[in-house]
Structure 1
Amino acid sequence: MRMEKGAECTTLLKQCQRKFPPLKLIIMSASLDARLFSEYFGGARAVHVEGRQHHVDVFYTLHAETDYVDAALITIFQIHLEEGPGDILVFLTGQEEIEGVERLVQEQLQKLPEERQKLLTVPIFSSLPSEKQMRVFMPAPAGYRKVILATNIAETSVTIPGIKFVIDPGFVKARSYDPVKGMESLIIIPTSKAQALQRSGRAGREGPGKCFRLYPEHEFEKLEDSTKPEIKRCNLSNVILQLKALGIDDIIGFDFLEKPSRAAIQKSLEQLFLLGALTDDCKLSDPVGHQMARLPLDPIYSKALILASQFNCLEEMLIAVSMLSVESIFYNPREKSAEVHAYQLLLICF
């Protein structure tokens, strides 16, 4: 009986192979460690496609800068006053830095002769309203130079026309997870070599360009080759929950492409157990664990929604989870901060 079933399976497999072509999995990335992926998938072929990029001159500082924001400001005006036509792209770490530099640029412009004040600042970051983000793609008025103040969203996510000069302070804001404290945070860290190369490449999309790295050349050699994978710096609870739902119980021994720390795995298993998603023998619980695995949310929020229906407050919990699942739904421009503080004080008084 077993032999008959085995023969039937073999015949069915051969029929499927004749009917369907072999499945091809193509993984593409601008800054991927191709060697690692190739080795993981059994020596899969890696194809490197060179982009159409013009020559970019890269300049370094002689000494390390104590204040990269101030150095970026100085470099903006050096380019504006000494270099030929072309827009400037400045990489900064977040909204606060971008708005600070934008304000400083406007202040310094007022000190220049009127004919030298033709510099237009345009910010772009994730929480900026979409209609304001689109301003970066609009050409500058005749006779003006555009300076774009951006986060790492401009590294690979968008290609902005007109860029000939890039200013790279060499820092980026990245998510980090401390498994001991069980807390996630955003911290400012040095970029990787792959990120630095991506940034400099922005200057050579339409013609020869220049990249000004605000750190010495020997510091570039000390950078990591590629960005640290997010699986090594985030909470693994949702990843482990999905693996459990797929029937993979040996999480510690699972063959991750980039294996996270044992402490991070244990902390996430502990959290899932406390939430009731896992049983005493580390199996997915029924029905809570299976319900949580079906929701594309952080396990804490999944459990909150499941319990909310029992307490007849599902609508209110959906609103709370929606608010907590995004970085921020509010855009608070710097020029309105005084009004916001006054409103907050008014609420406290009443």
Structure 2
Amino acid sequence: MTMKSSRFTLIAIAAVLAPLALFISCVSSPGTSKSTTLAGAYKDHFPIGAAVAAGEFDFDSFTHYPAHLLAEFNSLTAENAMKPSIIQPKEGEFNWVHADRIVEYAEEHNMRLRGHTLVWHNQVAEWMFPGSGTQEEHRKKAMDSLREHTDAVMSRYARKVTSWDVVNEVVADSPGDSPYRTDSPWYKAYGGIGYVREAFEMARAADPDALLFYNDYSMVDSGKRKRVLDMFEELGLLRDGLIDGVGMQAHWVLSYPDRNQLNEAVRDFREAGLRVEITELDIVCDEWDQDILADRYEALFTWLRELSDDIDGVTFWGIADDHTWLTDFHGFTNYPFLFDTEGNRKEAYDRVIQAAQ
């Protein structure tokens, strides 16, 4: 072979190999690989979860979600299917179908499962509260009903649901006359905040192996966080080993919270001896601010990765932009997630993957 023909041969080989090298580079790059998932990118940091709808909002059990979207996560939470008004709408009449399907899917795919929720002022089962009677009769009916409900639900899913939001949103947004949400049917039936302690006692007895959480929003606010910690002390939840952690709901916006607020919140709860999870993550965002959303998610997950030694999990309150409670709540169409209305990855997704490095 002459030198000239040899040179042409090498050029031809290089032309064939260059696209292959580019393909290999893209596949191996965590920021661009389509084989990368959120769970995979953060496997050394914390589980990445999503709340899923099943049996509500015209969603059948999981038929709404493409497999490739569910595969992005390694943790699931039922958005509504495990709430009292859904799972036991009438006394003794349980609707297990959709909750069971979520549990089965999580087991089949080796996913962590969080239970949500046993006690909340919304989506309560009205039968748990008597229509008339004395304060003591109201309290007894409510606590007896809660005990039966907690025993039934937690025993059914024992060793399958590994952690529970036992109590949700009982602390007031501002102190006012009381640090607690006094308009809650639970507060009214009990005649005070003591129902929170009893709820944790019931949950601990129903499944001693489950991790028990208090879940609330705005706990990056120092005032509300103090009211939460004061409640734990008042009720002896930490002293008596009745609570394991807090779920910090993350219904946040494009400019709040900042890094220091997040750091301080996590620090305060960890110093109190509590596990911390970021729950219900979504960011209020319209169609026109998607570039800002990408910046926001990159910054947020950079901070969360830096805090990964102190965070046990991060859960989005949904999966894709086709379904979010924020639209109804705020009165305009929201696009708060990493996947668009068609389930395609957005720029925000790529930036979250990059933040894992």
Is TM more than 0.5 here?
Answer: no
Q: TM-score if structure 1 supplies the norm length?
A: 0.26
TM-score, structure 2 length as denominator?
Answer: 0.26
